[in-house]
Amino acid sequence: MAHDHDDLFRMLRMMGVPVPENDSDDDAIPVDAVIGDAEDSADGGSTHDGSDDRHGGKHRKSRRGSSAHTGNEFFDALARWSKRAFIVAAIVLIVALAASYWWFHPALNLQSPQVWSWIILIAVVVAVALKILSLRSLAHGALFRRLIAVPIAVIIAFVVGVVAGFPFIPGNAERYATVLETTDGTFSEDIEEVDYSEVPVIDHASAVLLGDRAMGSIPEYVSQFEISSAYSQINYHGRPVRVSPLTYADLFKWFSNRNTGIPAYVLVDMVTQEAEVVRLDEPIKYSESEPLARNIDRYVQLKYPTYMFDQKSFELDEDGTPWWVFPVQRRTIGLFQGTTIQRVVLVNACTGETEDYAVEDVPTWVDRAYPSDLIIQQYNWSGMYANGWLNSWLGQRDVVRTTSGTNGELGYNYLAQGEDIYLYSGVSSVTADSSSIGFILVNQRTGESHFYPVAGATEDSAMASAEGELQNLRYQATFPLLLNVAGQPTYFMSMKDDAGLVKMYAMINVEHYQSVATGGTVAACQDSYLAMLAADGTLSEEQAVESGAQETVSGKIATIAQAVIDGNSHFYVTLEGSTEIYDFALPDLLGIVRYRVGDEISFTCTAEEVVAESEADDDAGATEEDSGALVRPVTAIE
C-alpha cells in the first residue's frame, strides 16, 4: 500500500540514499494509482498504524489533484501532464498565434473567413483544455464539462452564419440580385465615338512582352530587379496605359537593395505600344516583394487591422507618384456572402503614407476601386436571382450571365472613357452557346453599372470569325474591345502572330457579325469597316457620309463598261479628269442605264478603294486589265 512505500522512502533517506520527494502538487498521480487508493479505502475501515495518520493528509491532497480514468488514451495522457507542462504549452501557443498573426495578418473582423478558421481552431483547443481540466479536478470537473458548451456554441454560430448566406434562405435571392444595381442604357448616347488615336491595341500579354524588352535595355536593373505581373490598366494623362512596379529578383537581391528601395516602374502605352522604365526621384519602399515589415499587404493590414481588403492595384496619380489602391470589402448577406466595396485605402508606395476614403469620395485619378472579378460576380448574382432562387434552377426565366472568356478565364475587357476605366463584358442567356443578348459597362471607380440590349455574337465567336478571315496567316485574336464606331457597337481585336506581336487589326459589328474588316493599321481597319457597313446598308447614306465612310462625287462620264461578276451585272464608270473606277452594281443602281458618255452625273461612293474579286464577262467588253482592278463601290445615284 501507499504508506508502506512512504516508510520505505523514509528509511532510504535516513541511510543517505537520494530519493525524490513525491508530495509535490506539480506532478499528477497516475490514474492507476488513484484507482488503487480508492480500492484500499473501500476495504471496510481496516486499522492502520500511526504512519497512516501522518500521511493521510498527503493522500487526500493527491486525490484532490488526481485524474479520473476515461478509457481514452489521448485524454488520459494529457491529464497526466504537470502544471508546468501546461503553462509552457500555453505560452508556446500564445507566441505561435502572435507570430502567425504578424506573418499572415488576417483581418480582425468576424466577416473574414480567415479569422473564423483561427476562431474555430482556438475553440477546438479550448474544448480540449476544458476536457482535460474536467479530468484533473474531481471537485470542479462538472463545471469544466459544462463550460465545453461555450466553444461548441462558437462553432455552431459559425455554421449558422454560413447557412444564413445561402441563396435559398427566404429574402436572400433578392439581396443577391440588388448588390449591383444595373440600369439600361443607350449605347450611342452613353459611349463616345471612338478616337482612333486613343484606341488601346495591346492586351496584358503583349504589355508584358514590351515591358520585358524595355527592362532589358537597362542592365543594372535586370541583374537586381524583375517586373511585377500586375500591369494594371489605368488612364494616365488621358491615355490608356498599363503600369507595373519592379520587384526584388530574389531574397539576396532584397538584402542588397533594401536600404535604397525599388528605383522605378514600367509604363506601357497601349496605343503607341511604347514601353519605358520610369525612374523615380524617391524609390518605392513598400512593395509585394518586401518580405518583412514593409511588405505592402502586411503593412496596410496591420495599420487597418479590422478592414477586409480585396484585390489591390498599382496606380499613378497625375504627378506620376505610385500608389497602392486597396478596396475594403463589406459583407451584406449572412456571414461571408454579398460582398461589395465600402471604402478604399490608398498607400503611397514610396513613403508609406495612407489615405482612407469612403468609396464615393475616392479621388478621380483612382481607376480601380471595384475589382474586376468582384464586378463579374455581382452581375452574375443579379442575373441568376432576379426572379428568385427557385427560378434560377427550374424555370430559368430571364436568367443571364456574363459571357465566358478563353483558357478558362473570365471574359471581360476595359474601355477608357473620360477619366475612368469601364469594365466591359458580354451577357448571354444561361442556355445560349454563341449568342449574346447585350453587354454591360461598369465604372470601376464608382460602381455605376449599365446594361445595353444588343443581340449579336459573343466575344469568342467574334474572335473565331476574325481568325478565320486571316487563317492563312495563322494570327490569333486578342479578347475583343468594345468600341462605338459611327454609333454601332463594334468588336475591335488585335491580331497577333506566334511570337505575340501585333501584326493586324480586325473589326466586327456586334449585331451583324458575318463580315470582318481587317487592316494593317487601325486607320486602315477603320476605313475598311466603315466601307463594309455602308455597303451592306448598316449605315444610312447620311451616317455613312458623316462618318467618312462615303463621299459624294460628281463629274462628266468619260467611259462606261458593263461586266457580269458572280452572275450579277455591274457598270464600271470613269469620269473626265480622274483615273478612279466606280462600280455601279445592278439591280440596286439600275438608274445607271440612263446615262451615256458625256452626261453629267452625281453619286455617293465609298471612301476606300477595294479590289474586284471576279473576272468580267468577255462578252461585256471588259479587258483583262480591268480584272482585279482597284474600284470604288457606288452606293447611291443622286
Q: In whole angstroms, how large is the CA radius of gyration of the chain?
A: 39
User: CB of 247 within 8 A of CB of 296?
Assistant: no
Put residue 168 in one of left, alpha, beta given phi > 0 → left and psi -120 to 50 → alpha: alpha
C-alpha distances in angstroms, 177 versus 61, 173, 390?
A: 66, 6, 13
Q: d(Cα 543, Cα 549) in Å, to the nearest integer?
A: 8
**Quick one: pLDDT at residue 289?**
93
Q: How far is it, in rounded angstroms, from Cα 339 to Cα 316?
A: 26
pLDDT for the residue numbered 85: 81
- Give the Å distances, CA to CA, from 495 to 240, 331, 479, 507: 19, 41, 10, 11
Using an 8 Å Cβ cutoff, are 519 and 505 in contact? yes
Q: Where are the beta strands (DSSP E) in 70-205?
A: 182-184
| Amino acid found at 359 | V
Among the listed residues 520, 528, 410, the one whose alpha carbon sits nearest the alpha carbon of residue 460? 410
- CA 385 from chain centre, in angstroms, equals 22
Which H/E stretch holds residue 12?
A: helix 2-14
Note the pLDDT of residue 29: 40
d(CA 257, CA 243): 22
pTM for this predicted structure: 0.75
Per-10-residue mean pLDDT of the chain, 638 residues long, equals 55 56 45 40 42 45 47 68 81 87 89 90 89 82 90 94 94 94 88 81 91 88 90 91 94 91 95 93 94 94 95 94 96 94 96 96 95 95 93 88 75 85 90 81 95 88 90 90 88 91 92 85 84 78 71 91 86 92 88 92 78 42 47 82
pLDDT at residue 62 in the model:
43
- Residue 274 phi/psi, 5° resolution? -95, 135
Q: Residue 234 forms beta bridges with which residues?
A: 241
